[in-house]
Amino acid sequence: MLNLAILISGRGSNMKAILEAIRSNKLKGIKKVIVISNKSDAPGLKIARDEFGVQTVAVTTKAKEDFENELLSVLNRYDFGVNDTLICLAGFMRIIGPTIINKFRHKIVNIHPSLLPSFKGLNAQRQALDAGVKISGCTVHFVDTGVDTGPIILQKCVPVLSYDTDQTLSDRILVLEHEAYVTAIELISSNRIKVKNNKVIEN
């Protein structure tokens, strides 16, 4: 059984997909959930609270080190321990520093709207359009100290169409993000994968 700490900064559609999967029992083996945001006005916080009755916390501390400490103390306060917690970054727009990454080694996952290792960082969909690739998609990966570099858990792809805009491509990818994130959490919570030589392999 796994606790989920979902970290968001904005609308929280991936968070919502995860919460819906838990509610409809598609995602089993989840003990409790907390949603944490670095923005107190993130729309996703209200969705988590009002639509799902999930505990939410805003950690708005600006300084990097204070932010990390505050995040750790929230996890501690709500009893999200390192042994049974998965931290899911879902549109979380702050870099998580080495203190937390090393403590929660292979227990932090992120979703990124490109087929990594292509198009890391911001505006991945725009980067894909600018590069003229014909296929893009999304990647769920473990978080390491780099930006969008950790071991890849799973990827889903979509065609890039000649008339695509940032919006149309993002929308097409987002549909698959929601599926991919739930599947990745399921793989982890049911102990079906492990990391070996920096690669994710089946158990």
Catalytic residue IDs: 112
From the list 12-20, 21-29, 30-38, 80-88, the region that binds ligand GRF by CB under 6 A is: 12-20
The two three-digit tokens of residue 27, written as one number: 């995602």
Asked whether position 141 contacts ligand GRF by CB under 6 A, the answer is no
Give me the phi and psi of 176, to 5 degrees please: -75, -30
Asked whether position 97 contacts ligand GRF by CB under 6 A, the answer is no
Give me the phi and psi of 118, to 5 degrees please: -80, 145
Q: How far is the CB of 189 from ligand GRF (least distance, A)?
A: 19
What is the C-alpha to C-alpha distance for residues 54 and 134, in angstroms, rounded to an integer?
39
DSSP bridge pairs for 55 = 34
| Residue of the chain from 90, 140, 153, 200 that contacts ligand GRF (CB under 6 A) | 90
Asked whether position 137 contacts ligand GRF by CB under 6 A, the answer is no
Token pair 């991936």 is found at 14
Q: Which residues ranging from 111 to 130 are in contact with ligand GRF (CB under 6 A)?
A: 111-113
From the list 6-14, 53-61, 94-102, 128-136, the region that binds ligand GRF by CB under 6 A is: 6-14
Token pair 């080190």 is found at 65
Asked whether position 91 contacts ligand GRF by CB under 6 A, the answer is yes
C-alpha Rg value of the chain to the nearest Å: 16
Closer of 23 and 77 to ligand GRF (Cβ): 23
CA-CA distances (angstroms) from residue 57 to 8, 22, 60, 160?
10, 20, 10, 37
**Site of interaction with ligand GRF (CB under 6 A):** 8, 10-14, 90-91, 111-113, 174, 177
